[in-house]
């Protein structure tokens, strides 16, 4: 591929070789550099190369011979003449990225239509979470014969002498020279880079530390998974079982089997489910905690875990979706817990679903993948039905614990008092639960005080100026805030439209408002509020979970944070304030999502001896979602969902990609969308829907239009999209985001 713009030319000895280096940046492909004669470079080596006036870290890249033709991306192959190539500055003392990981990066890039460098960035840089690059130092290397020894260079070499390695800055200061001198010496091969971090010793999990006693369906499932792991090779198994049936317990048996083969394990969890609780449980089973990987871990732990996965010192990593891009030396098993979770979809940068990419990584690495869920996604069920995935079922809760008894509260028959949101039946249930010294939980998936603020005088609604959304009142902070762009303004005292004083009214509940109501009703209860506003991240979440386990709270009020796989032994009542929330709107996936979320919430109740109860407040108790939650018959519900999606070839029975066109001006967005519409692909089994306003037609000040490309399963969308996008020139003012397998449609 082309050479980056160079600021100065360097003489390259004729003996140097040409290498391709992929940089963790949004370029279309890798760049060519010259490998100096003294530097033996292999694909996967992590190197430092000049780009413009800076040095960047990249990876020696080979072309991907094994990409299937419909995924292969075109690279601009006009080679730069050898005389104009700039040399690689240094090979860093880091474990090289192995061929399996390089293939994975290529595939993810090709599948998501993202620049490969952006995918590499997730491996190398973990862009939002800091740099895993270790601190590097220099040691003297045998002096190349051609080296010109200037006085400055001599000073550097004598400072370095036989002492310990020093960093660039440290060395430059000690020798009284500029950093350029050091770089010059490094370029010439007179310095050798070394890693300054000491290696980190990770405790070794012991597969036989404390295995559970298994029988019946648990034993069968564990045996099947162990056999899978021992045989090795790619396979996908859906481990399905109601909450509390022992899924975690069983997949830990697969972890144990993998540890015995000496290979590494990756367990993916939705970020907020990465809890102290899970780690403790792992430690009880294996004697030591696993390595963890999520957005909050510190630089040092990040570096150690990255290096440890690469050199094999780390045997089990439990992480959020970004852990998928760690450089495992010898991966042997991948587990995705809560596989149905929409949180596995990354919605910024490279748009990918970690569940799907985990299956891809498993396939490329030739290792088994386990997907666990109480409410599997329709995608996964369809793969089971088609015989692509194996299926193991744990039909009952462990130890005979009963599933919670579910009751629907028709709000038309049991209306809450005016201006309040808890029906008398739910209040009484909470009161009785607290009376018995048991814990109760109220669930409402909405942050803030009220989702809508309306002027009683003129009907004006407080709207975000940058997004198609209402501003949400946060009463504790006295502000209105947009949940899409975070625009925040003080709560006005008069209506901005008609100037009426004190006319603004909060409409509908958020959890702050439910908390206010609960405080009035249960003044003596210790209330714990759990939402991303009160918790921030995994650490604070873990602390709150601990508090609940230690019975330091009586009533828990939370958003979806509370719905994850927590084990609350003292919780016996769950009240869902608005079970209908999420069923409005046109999204075909709304029913599936709502049932998954509510089942998960309900599953928090009664996980120990005391039986659990769940109350769902709803205005539409006849809705199939409510009926399925009542009967617990998800299979029939999912069969109905499947029947609805099959005829139109909606996912998972067809393939779908979204093109979101956005621009600062509505007209530009409309024009670009229309242009794409006119160039739309057509053919047997290919359909384009739209352009239409995107679900958030205005987001962060950009007007958004959406086109959906839907094809039969046998037709890949990537080549169609590539041709389509190449056929139109939309100009610089317009951005197009490609979302393969969008979560909502
Ligand atoms: P799930 O992941 O399906 O929600 P878990 O694996 O968390 O289920 O199991 C629920 C509870 O039952 C946990 O406290 C777990 O330790 C316990 N449990 C499950 N199976 C066993 C077993 N075979 N022996 C002992 N405890 C078990
Ligand atoms: Zn906004």
Average the pLDDT over each of 32-46, 73-87, 422-436 and give the range with the smallest value.
73-87
**DSSP code string of 466-526:** SSSSBPEEETTTTEEE-TTT--EEEPPSB-TTT--BT-EEEES--HHHHHHHHHHH-TTS-
211, with CB counted inside 10 A (0-12, 13-18, 19+), is middle
| 160-164, 635-639, 698-702: the lowest-pLDDT one | 160-164
Identify whether residues 528 and 638 lie together within a single domain: yes
Judgement on whether residues 33 and 86 belong to the same structural domain of the protein: yes
CA distance 353 to 350: 10
CATH number of the CATH domain containing 322: 3.40.50.300
Domain match, 361 and 291 both: yes
The residue ranking higher by pLDDT, 572 or 299, is: 572
189 assigned to some structural domain: yes
**Per-residue pLDDT for 337 more than 80?**
yes
| Residue nearest atom 20 of ligand 1, based on CA coordinates | 246
Q: What is the pLDDT of residues 130-165, one digit of tens each?
A: 334 556 778 888 887 788 889 999 888 888 876 777
Same domain, 629 and 654: no
Last residue of a domain, one of 394, 416, 432: 394
Q: Rounded mean pLDDT of 719-733?
A: 91
Residue 210 lies in a domain: no
* CATH number for the domain harbouring residue 183: 1.10.10
368-387 pLDDT tens trace: 999 999 999 999 999 999 99
Does residue 101 lie in a domain region?
A: yes
Residue pLDDT, tens place only, 462-502: 999 999 999 999 998 899 999 999 999 999 999 999 999 99
- Whether the predicted pLDDT of 616 surpasses 70: yes
**Residue 260 shares a structural domain with residue 304:** yes
**Structural Rg of the chain based on CA atoms:** 29
Residue among 245, 398, 545 to mutate when testing ligand 1 (max atoms within 8 A of CB) = 398
Q: Is 517 in the pocket of ligand 1 (CB under 6 A)?
A: no
Closest atom of ligand 1 relative to the 250 alpha carbon = 6
Distance of CA 639 to the CA centre of its chain: 28
**Top mutation candidate among 219, 223, 241, 249 for ligand 1, by most atoms within 8 Å of CB:** 249
**What pLDDT shows up at residue 188?**
81
pLDDT at 712 over 70: yes
Ligand nearest the Cα atom of residue 239 = 1
The domain of 533 spans: 405-451+508-642
Are 556 and 595 in contact, with CB atoms under 8 Å apart?
no
Assess contact for 167 and 137: CB atoms under 8 A: yes
Query: How many angstroms does the Cα of residue 667 sit away from the middle of ligand 2?
Result: 20
Range name among 101-105, 513-517, 527-531, 587-591 with the lowest pLDDT average: 587-591
Are 269 and 331 in a shared domain? yes
**Residue 485 marked as a ligand binder:** yes
Q: Global pTM?
A: 0.86
Residues 425 and 559 occupy one common structural domain: yes
Say if ligand 1 is within 6 A of residue 567 CB.
yes
Residue 580 lies in a domain: yes
Domain boundary among 369, 394, 419: 394
Lowest mean pLDDT among 255-269, 513-527, 563-577: 563-577
Same-domain check for residues 629 and 735: no
Say if 356 falls within a structural domain: yes
Residue 308 falls within a domain, yes or no?
yes
Inter-helix orientation angle 624-631/634-645, to 10°: 150
Same domain, 655 and 638: no
Query: How confident is the model over 653-680, as a mean pLDDT?
Result: 95
CA-wise closest residue to 557 among 603, 599, 525: 525
Residue 113, domain CATH? 3.40.1440.60
Residue 126 has pLDDT above 60, yes or no: no
Which residue minimizes the CA distance to atom 15 of ligand 1?
A: 246
- 498 in a labelled binding site: yes
Report which of residues 644 and 10 the model is more confident about. 644
Do 421 and 546 belong together in one domain?
A: yes
Q: Are the beta carbons of 599 and 375 closer than 8 angstroms?
A: yes
pLDDT given at position 608: 66
Distance between CA atoms of 337 and 251, rounded to whole angstroms? 9
- Classify residue 91: in a domain, yes or no: yes
Split at pLDDT 50, 70, 90, the class of 5 is: very low
Q: What is the biggest distance separating any 2 CA atoms in the chain, rounded to whole angstroms?
A: 92
| pLDDT single digits (tens) 580-610 | 998 977 788 899 999 999 988 888 887 667 7
Compute, in degrees rounded to 10, the torsion defined by CA atoms 145, 148, 151, 153: -70
Q: Is the pLDDT of residue 72 over 80?
A: no
| Residue 493 CA from chain centroid, whole number | 40
Same domain, 544 and 692: no
How many folded domains does the chain comprise? 5
- Distance of alpha carbon 330 from alpha carbon 345, whole angstroms: 26
210 appears as a binding residue in the annotation: no
Residue 74 falls inside a structural domain: yes
Ligand 1 centre distance from Cα of residue 294 (Å): 25
pLDDT grade for 185, boundaries at 50, 70 and 90:
confident
Residue 592 and residue 377: Cα distance in Å, rounded?
8
Quick one: pLDDT band at residue 74, thresholds 50, 70, 90? low
- Residue 528: DSSP 8-state: E
- Tens-place pLDDT, residues 273-328: 667 778 889 999 999 999 999 877 888 788 888 988 998 889 999 999 999 999 99
């Amino acid at each position: 591929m082309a050479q980056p713009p160079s600021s100065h030319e360097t003489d390259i000895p004729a003996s140097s070789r040409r290498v391709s280096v992929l940089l963790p940046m949004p370029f279309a492909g890798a760049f060519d550099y010259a490998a100096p004669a003294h530097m033996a470079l292999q694909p996967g080596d992590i190197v430092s190369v000049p780009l413009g006036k800076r040095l960047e870290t990249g990876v020696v890249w080979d072309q991907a011979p094994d990409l299937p033709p419909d995924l292969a991306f075109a690279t601009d192959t006009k080679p730069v003449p050898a005389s104009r190539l700039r040399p690689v500055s240094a090979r860093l003392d880091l474990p090289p990225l192995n061929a399996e990981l390089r293939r994975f990066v290529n595939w993810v890039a090709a599948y998501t239509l993202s620049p490969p460098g952006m995918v590499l960035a997730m491996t190398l840089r973990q862009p939002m979470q800091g740099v895993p690059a270790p601190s590097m130092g220099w040691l003297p290397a045998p002096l190349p014969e051609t080296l010109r020894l200037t006085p400055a260079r001599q000073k550097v070499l004598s400072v370095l002498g036989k002492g310990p390695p020093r960093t660039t800055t440290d060395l430059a200061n000690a020798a009284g020279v500029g950093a350029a001198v050091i770089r010059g010496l490094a370029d010439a091969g007179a310095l050798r880079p070394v890693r300054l971090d000491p290696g980190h010793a990770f405790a070794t999990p012991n597969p036989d530390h404390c295995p559970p006693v298994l029988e019946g369906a648990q034993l069968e499932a564990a045996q099947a998974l162990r056999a899978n792991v021992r045989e090795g090779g790619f396979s996908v198994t859906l481990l399905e079982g109601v909450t509390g049936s022992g899924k975690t317990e069983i997949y830990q048996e697969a972890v144990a089997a993998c540890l015995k083969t000496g290979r590494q394990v990756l367990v993916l969890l939705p970020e907020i489910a990465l809890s102290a609780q899970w780690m403790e449980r792992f430690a009880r089973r294996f004697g030591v905690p696993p390595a963890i990987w999520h957005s909050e871990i510190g630089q040092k732990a990040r570096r150690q875990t990255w290096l440890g996965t690469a050199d094999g010192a780390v045997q089990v990593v439990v992480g959020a979706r970004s852990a998928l891009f760690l450089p495992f030396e010898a991966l042997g098993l991948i587990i995705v817990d809560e596989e149905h979770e929409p949180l596995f979809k990354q919605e910024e940068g490279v748009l990918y679903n970690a569940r799907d990419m985990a299956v891809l990584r498993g396939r490329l690495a030739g290792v088994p993948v386990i997907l666990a869920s109480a409410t599997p996604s329709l995608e996964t069920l369809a793969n089971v039905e088609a015989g692509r995935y194996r299926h193991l079922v744990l039909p009952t809760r462990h130890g005979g614990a009963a599933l919670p008894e579910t009751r629907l509260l028709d709000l038309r028959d049991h209306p809450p008092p005016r201006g309040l949101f808890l029906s008398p039946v739910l209040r009484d249930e909470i009161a009785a639960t607290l009376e018995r010294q048991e814990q109760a939980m109220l669930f409402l998936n909405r942050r803030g005080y009220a989702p809508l603020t309306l002027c009683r005088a003129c009907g004006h609604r407080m709207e975000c100026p940058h997004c198609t959304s209402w501003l949400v009142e946060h009463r504790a902070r006295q502000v209105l805030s947009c949940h899409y762009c975070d625009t925040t303004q003080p709560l006005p005292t008069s209506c901005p439209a008609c100037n009426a004083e004190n006319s603004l009214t909060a409409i509908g509940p958020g959890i702050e408002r439910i908390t206010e109501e609960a405080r009035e009703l249960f003044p003596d209860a210790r209330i714990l509020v759990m939402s991303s506003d009160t918790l921030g991240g995994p650490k604070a979440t873990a602390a709150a979970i601990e508090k609940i386990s230690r019975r330091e709270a009586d009533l828990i009020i939370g958003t979806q944070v509370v719905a994850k796989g927590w084990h609350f032994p003292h919780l016996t009542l769950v009240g869902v304030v608005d079970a209908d929330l999420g069923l409005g709107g046109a999204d075909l996936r709304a029913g599936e999502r709502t049932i998954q979320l509510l089942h998960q919430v309900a599953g928090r109740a009664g996980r120990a001896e005391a039986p659990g109860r769940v109350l769902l407040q709803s205005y539409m108790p006849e809705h199939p979602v409510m009926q399925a939650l009542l009967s617990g018959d998800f299979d029939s519900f999912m069969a109905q969902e499947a029947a609805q999606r099959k005829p139109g070839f909606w996912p998972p029975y067809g393939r779908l990609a979204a093109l979101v066109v956005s621009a600062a001006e509505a007209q530009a967005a409309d024009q670009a969308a229309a242009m794409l519409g006119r160039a739309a692909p057509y053919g047997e089994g290919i359909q384009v829907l739209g352009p239409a306003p995107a679900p958030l037609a205005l987001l962060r000040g950009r007007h958004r239009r959406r086109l959906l490309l839907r094809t039969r399963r046998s037709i890949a969308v990537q080549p169609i999209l590539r041709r389509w996008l190449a056929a139109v020139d939309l100009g610089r003012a317009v951005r197009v985001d490609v979302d393969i397998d969008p979560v909502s449609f």
